[in-house]
């Protein structure tokens, strides 16, 4: 059941698609205080209550014990004490005999103190008492999640090739760099479906342009890559270069589609291209205009994009730059002895973007509104611009799109990647945990930069990370400029990489089927064990294993030099390792704790008893998968059926009976 409450004059975020009546009385689940100081929701927590949700945030699956702040930010250090990252996912779930879901539809800065300040109190607070609060009750956490997902609309479904493996790196410059990557993969028989183009492909970092020296004919190059069954996926940044004669800039100015400053003039910002303007994605007309721009690249054969810097990430504005320069001058005027070094370091830090949120405005369909009141919608609306345009431009084929920043509601238009992580073992664990929380909020198409974005990865870390990436819908190796080469063929014994990524392709019929069905039925693709086994206290404590679809459990190794790990089986399962030879090593295991050995080139799989996986033969790209010849793998004690979802991989007409095949397996 859903109870909806309105406070003040909320911003219409369109996160919720269901039409629900507002209640007049106060919420039942907690105490609400509203005044000029803002809004506070307070609820007492039982000792045993776990808090789930909050999507893209640091720490564990159970969020209790820390403060999380929704204030989208380009934050390259995902440290344990980070309060905000790139996205705002204001949905919480509380476990217990009467589980509860809470959604705070508020696009400004809002904080969630989950038993941090006071161990048994949940406090949610924001500066303005203008919001919608939804309370959702139900039999179980799973049911509450489903109700929430119905309320917020069907999750985006990527084309099937986008579940293939992708290679990315910030720093690939020209055609030759891309050819080398594809050659490295194909020569070593490591599967590959996509290579990502980072900002260097553009002419002077201008969106929807291509540097002609590096890519004399991008259309041709796209087909050359397609001949090798590889999709090129370019990045699009939020900031538009200020340049006389650059059509996107000129049109935006002429039509008044950029964010404005206090005086109503286009707001000066700066990002990769130097001085920029930021499109006003909160304005429906500006969205339509910007979305149509993607056509420039789609006409060349491009069928996938990633949207970056849309928190928005603003390096500086005219005002912050002038202030910083003034401070710098004052600093330099002081005698050397009086100028402690840390003061100098502090000056550079002041160029951060968070202070500029009060300096600019949107035209939200006729209403002028200051940015800080709607900050967390920016990435959502940028990606909505793209997603809505794709439906117009490409009515028959799904297009790949994922974003860095998001808000709940954006899950209908695209996926997200998990931002600038590091090549740290702790970030592999964070990836596992965050993915579960994102699934609760509707972001099914998601993945982290496998191997880690910043810092130098190790062969072992990359292999272990890939062995988890095998399960995530977005499976992409991405790394930052100036870090060590991170393509799989750069490491010793590339056949180990070929095998691990190969397991992904063997599992794809199942993974794709579970992914699409989860989206169509408002289910989670990944679930914490606590969601499936709420009455099993041990299962509820597990933070490093996930259920995936109806029959599979993932239990990755994420510790350096570990030869294996302890696994908790909440029921009897078949433990499977697919060996490089193609043979299966299987072991029947009873409910309970087990220690498993896992080599660096192995992917441990756990299949629930009386469930099975349909496996394909190995393939080097999605197009080459043979799904007419599937092998069934499982520990079956009775006749068992599985409903396989299988379509052409790109149709938008998804929910039709012909796409379902009933498979069965007998003991
Ligand atoms: O300021 O485009 O998160 O994936 O490689 C850095 C360069 C800008 C941040 C993205 C990252 C991308 C990088 N971008």
Question: What is the C-alpha separation between 408 and 505, in angstroms, rounded?
Answer: 30
Whether 170 is covered by a domain: the verdict is no
419 in a structural domain: no
pLDDT tens digits along 410-430: 999 999 999 999 999 999 999
Tell me how far CA of residue 473 lies from CA of 128, 185, 468, 630, in angstroms: 37, 20, 11, 20
Average pLDDT, the chain: 96
pLDDT of residue 332: 82
pLDDT over 60 (residue 352) = no
Alpha carbons 584 and 593: distance in angstroms, whole number: 22
Mean pLDDT of 97-125: 98
Query: Rounded to an integer, what distance in angstroms lies between the CA atom of residue 508 and that of residue 472?
Result: 11
Place of tokens 């696009």: 107
Q: Tell me the average pLDDT across 90-110.
A: 98
Burial, 213: exposed, middle or buried (Cβ in 10 Å; 0-12, 13-18, 19+)?
exposed
At residue 152, the pLDDT reads 98
**DSSP letter for each residue of 235-285:** EEES-EE--TT-HHHHHHHHHT-B-B-TTSSBPPEEETTEEEE-B-TTSHH
Model confidence pLDDT, tens digit, residues 162-212: 999 999 999 999 999 999 999 999 999 999 999 999 999 999 999 999 999
Domain boundary among 152, 180, 201: 152
The whole-number pLDDT of residue 318 equals 86
Which atom of ligand 1 is nearest to 272's Cα?
1
How many residues does the structure list for the chain? 667
> Residue 401, SS3?
strand
| Structural domain range at position 638 | 511-665
| pLDDT for the residue numbered 205 | 98
Residue 370 lies in a domain: no
Q: At 47, which CATH number?
A: 2.60.40.1760
Say whether pLDDT at 485 is over 80.
Answer: yes
Question: 229: closest CA among 562, 625, 528?
Answer: 625
Of all residues in the chain, the percent with pLDDT exceeding 70 is 97
Q: Would you call 67 exposed, middle or buried from its count of C-beta atoms within 10 A (0-12, 13-18, 19+)? A: middle
Distance CA 91, CA 429 (A): 22
d(CA 169, CA 180): 13
Mean pLDDT (whole number) for 645-665: 97
- Would the CB of 237 count as within 6 Å of ligand 1? no
CATH number of the domain to which 642 belongs:
2.60.40.4040
* Residue 622, domain member (yes or no): yes
- Pull the structure tokens for residue 599: 């080599």
Mutation choice for ligand 1 from 309, 313, 448, CB with most ligand atoms inside 8 A = 309
Within a domain: residue 328?
Answer: no
Taking 90 as the threshold, does the pLDDT of residue 534 lie above it?
yes
C-alpha 288, offset from chain centre: 24
pLDDT tens readout for residues 264-291 = 999 999 999 999 999 999 999 999 999 9
pLDDT digits (tens, 9 = 90+) for 512-527: 999 999 999 999 999 9
String of DSSP letters for 587-654: EEE-SEEEEEE--TT---EEEETT-EEEEPPP-SSGGG---SS-EEEE--SS-EEEEEE---SS-S--
Distance (Å, whole) CA 307 – CA 290: 12
Domains identified in the chain, total number: 2
For residue 345, the model assigns a pLDDT of 66
Q: Is residue 183 part of a domain?
A: no
User: What pLDDT was estimated at residue 350?
Assistant: 53
How high is the pLDDT of residue 334?
81
Pocket test residue of 166, 170, 237, 270 for ligand 1, highest count of atoms within 8 A of CB: 170
Query: The tokens 């964010």 sit on which residue?
Result: 259
Contacts for 255 with CB less than 8 Å, ≥ 6 apart: 285, 286, 289
533 in Cβ contact with 540 (< 8 Å): yes
In the predicted model, is pLDDT for residue 351 greater than 60?
no
- The answer to whether the CB of 476 falls within 8 A of the CB of 450 is yes
Residue 36 lies in a domain: yes
pLDDT at 365: 85
Write down the number of H helices and E strands in the chain.
15, 40
CB of 375 closer than 6 angstroms to any ligand 1 atom: no
pLDDT in tens, 596-645: 999 999 999 999 999 999 999 999 999 999 999 999 999 999 999 999 99
- Ligand 1 near 308 CB (within 6 A): yes
Which ligand 1 atom is nearest residue 480's CA?
5
Examine the pLDDT at 319 and tell me if it is beyond 90.
Answer: no
pLDDT in tens, 206-241: 999 999 999 999 999 999 999 999 999 999 999 999
pLDDT interval class at 349 (50, 70, 90):
low
* Of residues 324 and 146, more confidently modeled: 146
Last residue of some domain: 126, 152, 178?
Answer: 152
Last residue of a domain, one of 90, 119, 152: 152
**Which is it for strands 406-407 and 400-403: parallel, antiparallel or unpaired?**
unpaired
State the pLDDT confidence band at 320, using cuts at 50, 70 and 90. confident
Evaluate whether residue 609 is within a structural domain.
yes
């Amino acid at each position: 059941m859903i109870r909806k409450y309105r406070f003040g004059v909320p911003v219409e975020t369109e996160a919720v698609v269901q039409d629900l009546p507002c209640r007049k009385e106060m919420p039942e689940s907690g105490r609400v205080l509203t005044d000029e100081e803002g809004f506070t929701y307070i609820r007492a927590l039982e000792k045993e209550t776990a808090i789930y949700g909050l999507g893209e945030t640091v720490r564990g699956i159970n969020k209790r014990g820390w403060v999380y702040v929704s204030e989208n930010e380009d934050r390259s250090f995902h440290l344990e004490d980070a309060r905000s990252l790139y996205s705002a996912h204001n949905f919480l779930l509380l476990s217990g005999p009467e589980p509860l879901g809470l959604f705070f539809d508020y696009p400004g800065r809002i904080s969630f103190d989950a038993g941090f300040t006071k161990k048994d109190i949940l406090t949610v607070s924001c500066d303005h008492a203008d919001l919608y609060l939804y309370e959702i009750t139900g039999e179980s956490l799973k049911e509450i999640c489903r109700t929430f997902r119905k309320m917020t609309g069907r999750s985006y479904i990527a084309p099937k090739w986008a579940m293939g493996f992708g290679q990315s790196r910030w720093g690939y410059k020209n055609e030759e760099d891309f050819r080398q990557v594809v050659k490295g993969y194909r020569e070593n028989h490591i599967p590959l479906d996509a290579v990502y183009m980072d900002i260097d492909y553009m002419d002077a970092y201008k969106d929807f342009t291509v540097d002609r020296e590096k890519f004399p004919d991008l259309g041709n190059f796209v087909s050359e890559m397609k001949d090798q069954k590889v999709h090129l996926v370019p990045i699009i940044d939020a900031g538009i270069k200020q340049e006389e004669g650059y059509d996107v800039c000129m049109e935006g100015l002429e039509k008044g589609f950029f964010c404005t400053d206090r005086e109503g003039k286009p707001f000066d910002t700066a990002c990769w291209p130097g001085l920029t303007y930021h499109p006003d994605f909160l304005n429906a007309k500006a969205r339509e205009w910007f979305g149509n721009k993607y056509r420039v690249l789609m006409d060349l054969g491009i069928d996938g994009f990633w949207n970056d810097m849309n928190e928005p990430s603003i390096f500086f504005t005219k005002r912050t730059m002038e202030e910083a320069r003034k401070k710098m001058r004052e600093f330099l005027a002081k005698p050397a002895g009086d100028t402690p070094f840390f003061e100098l370091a502090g000056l550079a830090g002041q160029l951060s973007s968070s202070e500029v949120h009060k300096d600019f405005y949107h035209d939200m369909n006729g209403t002028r509104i200051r940015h800080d009141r709607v900050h967390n919608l920016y990435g959502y609306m940028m990606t909505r611009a793209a997603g809505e345009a794709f439906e117009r431009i490409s009515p028959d084929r799904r297009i790949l799109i994922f974003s860095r920043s998001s808000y709940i509601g954006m899950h209908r238009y695209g996926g997200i990647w998990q931002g600038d992580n590091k090549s740290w073992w702790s970030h592999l664990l964070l990836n596992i945990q965050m993915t579960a929380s994102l699934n609760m909020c509707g972001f099914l198409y998601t993945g982290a930069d496998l191997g880690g974005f910043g810092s130098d990865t190790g062969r072992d870390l990359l292999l272990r990370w890939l062995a988890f990436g095998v399960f995530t819908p977005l499976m992409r190796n991405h790394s930052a400029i100036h870090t060590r080469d991170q393509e799989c063929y750069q490491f010793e014994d590339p056949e180990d990489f070929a095998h691990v990524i190969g397991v992904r392709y063997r599992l794809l019929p199942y993974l794709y089927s579970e992914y699409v069905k989860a989206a169509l039925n408002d289910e989670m693709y990944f679930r914490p064990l606590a969601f499936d086994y709420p009455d099993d206290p041990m299962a509820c404590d597990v933070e490093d294993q996930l259920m995936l679809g109806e029959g599979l459990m993932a239990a990755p190794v994420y510790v350096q030099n570990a030869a294996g790990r302890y696994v908790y089986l909440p029921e009897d399962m078949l433990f499977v390792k697919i060996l490089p030879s193609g043979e299966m090593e299987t072991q029947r295991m009873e409910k309970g704790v087990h220690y498993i050995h896992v080599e660096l080139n192995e992917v441990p799989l756990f299949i629930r008893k009386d469930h099975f996986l349909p496996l394909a033969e190995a393939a080097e790209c999605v197009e080459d998968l043979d799904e007419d010849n599937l092998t069934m793998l499982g520990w079956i004690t009775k006749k068992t059926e599985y409903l396989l979802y299988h379509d052409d991989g790109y149709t938008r007409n998804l929910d039709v009976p012909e796409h379902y095949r009933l498979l069965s397996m007998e003991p």
